[in-house]
């Protein structure tokens, strides 16, 4: 359950961070701005994009782990259901055989 919460929380955080880029990055410096200001903005932009890549990458990896866990759980439950079905069928056939002997 915690894995599902973390996956969802990271994804929502990433979407909010992606939508909030104007407020997070701030205004882009003009072309005639000093080189230092443009370099600072470029570093801020690179950090922002790297952070988004990490957030969405981690969210994707957690989603893959979650899918693997659910698939394993589904496989276990399917095998258990099949086993119960076969045992029930064998019991039913055993009852029919006994009824056939009484006639």
Range of the domain at 7: 2-102
Average pLDDT value for residue range 35-61: 94
Residue 22 has pLDDT above 60, yes or no: yes
How many domains, in total, are found in the chain? 1
- When the pLDDT of each residue in the chain is averaged and rounded to a whole number, the result is 89
Average pLDDT value for residue range 82-103: 76
Residue 92 has pLDDT above 90, yes or no: no
Residue 102 has pLDDT above 90, yes or no: no
DSSP assignment of the chain equals: -HHHHHHHHHHHHHHHHHHTHHHHH-PPPPTTS-HHHHHHHHHHHHHHHHHHHHHHHHHHHHHHHHHHHHHHHHHHHHHHHHHHHHHHHHHHHHHHHHHHHH-
* Lowest-confidence pick of 12-21, 43-52, 75-84, 85-94: 85-94
């Amino acid at each position: 359950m915690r894995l599902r919460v973390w996956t969802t929380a990271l994804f929502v955080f990433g979407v909010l961070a992606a939508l909030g880029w104007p407020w997070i990055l701030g205004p882009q410096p003009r072309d005639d701005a000093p080189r230092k200001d443009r370099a600072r903005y470029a570093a801020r932009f690179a950090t922002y994009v790297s952070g988004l890549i990490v957030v969405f990458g981690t969210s994707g990896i957690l989603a893959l782990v979650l899918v693997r866990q659910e698939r394993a759980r589904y496989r276990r439950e399917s095998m258990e259901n099949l086993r119960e079905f076969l045992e029930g069928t064998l019991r039913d056939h055993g009852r029919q055989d006994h009824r056939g002997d009484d006639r």
